[in-house]
Amino acid sequence: MAADVKLVSVIIPAYNERSDIEEVLRRVLDAPLPRGLSREVIVVDDGSNDGTSEILEKCAAGAGRTVVRVHHSVLNFGKGTAIRIGIRQARGEVIIIQDGDLEYDPNDYPRLLAPILAGEADVVYGSRFLGDPKGMQLPNLVFNRSFTALTNVLFTSHLTDEATAYKVFRAEVLKGIPLACTRFEFCPEVTAKVLKRGIRIHEVPISYTARTTRQGKKIKWTDAISAVATILKYRVVD
Ligand SMILES: Nc1nc2c(ncn2[C@@H]2O[C@H](COP(=O)(O)OP(=O)(O)OP(=O)(O)O)[C@@H](O)[C@H]2O)c(=O)[nH]1
Ligand SMILES: [Mg+2]
């Protein structure tokens, strides 16, 4: 049965994204949405100290009819904390997690939303590997592939891209899953908890153009260790 969706909440965690955040917001506000849907945008600026906060205030004020709410944290608490703050504030029936950089393309929203609108899925991941990922560094590629394989073995799933940032949920489902993540463990924690609840993750192909650490990528090899520890932990505990 088709889902009754009117409002899509786009949650953007952002930390020191001075060079990209204005363009990200523009693309999010301009992105096509299926007929009848409107959007709200919740940016969680996590103690940025590079001018991101000021840019966000200017953009929010000039956003026109779309609601853009900016939450400023005093300190840097991490991407996972920022997403949890965004989830609490979201009022839409569907939640899209949108990174605050230009690696992912908001033009993919209709494709990401389609399975939920058709009533075929509660959770949709945008798979970079079903699309044509550009510029992904070899260590990231190897980790993403291996980590997805590990997830599939642990949870008897058939994912092609667990660590994608484009994760879309029916809000009711996501709000019903208690999360404890603070930094980059959002992805493995939410994946484990969704799969453990017997909820199928539907994947659709997306486009992706990676950025490098010099261009602002913050995830580090230590986050890979943390991801493995997190997925193993939530295989065992709830
Ligand atoms: N609020 C908040 N956002 C963060 C933090 N660290 C990273 N981010 C945001 O999270 C997003 C992803 O960070 P990246 O450094 O690009 O890492 P990535 O490889 O794309 O990471 P994932 O897609 O999360 O696996 C970007 O929008 C960052 O601004 C943080 O400490 N707080
Ligand atoms: Mg990124």
89: left (phi over 0), alpha (psi -120 to 50) or beta: alpha
Written as one string, the DSSP assignment of 66-92 is SEEEEEEESS---HHHHHHHHHHH--S
CA of 50 to the centre of ligand 2 (A): 17
Nearest CA to ligand 1 atom 17: 219
Residue nearest to atom 11 of ligand 1 (CA): 99
Q: Provide the pLDDT for residue 218.
A: 81
- Written as six digits, the tokens of 86 are 């965004």
Give the pair of three-digit tokens for residue 32. 């096509």
pLDDT at 66: 85
To which H or E segment does residue 99 belong? none
The predicted-structure confidence for 149-184, as pLDDT tens digits, reads as follows 999 999 999 999 999 999 999 999 999 999 999 999
Q: What is the pLDDT of residue 95?
A: 98
Q: Whose CA is nearest to atom 9 of ligand 1?
A: 14
Contact 45, 81 (CB under 8 A): no
Question: Sheet holding 167-170: strands in order across?
Answer: 67-73, 38-46, 7-14, 94-97, 167-170, 123-127, 201-205
pLDDT of residue 1: 58
> What is the predicted pLDDT for the residue at 219?
80
47 CA distance to ligand 1 centroid (A)? Answer: 13
pLDDT score, position 220: 84
pLDDT (average), residues 210-237: 91
Region 104-112 average pLDDT: 98
pTM of the model: 0.95
Nearest CA to ligand 1 atom 19: 219
Residue 185 has a pLDDT of 96
> Which residue out of 16, 125, 218, 231 has the highest number of ligand 1 atoms within 8 Å of its CB and is therefore the one to mutate?
218
65, 105, 122 from 45: Cα distances, Å: 21, 20, 27
The reported pLDDT for the residue numbered 64 is: 79
Contact between 104 and 172 (Cβ < 8 Å): no
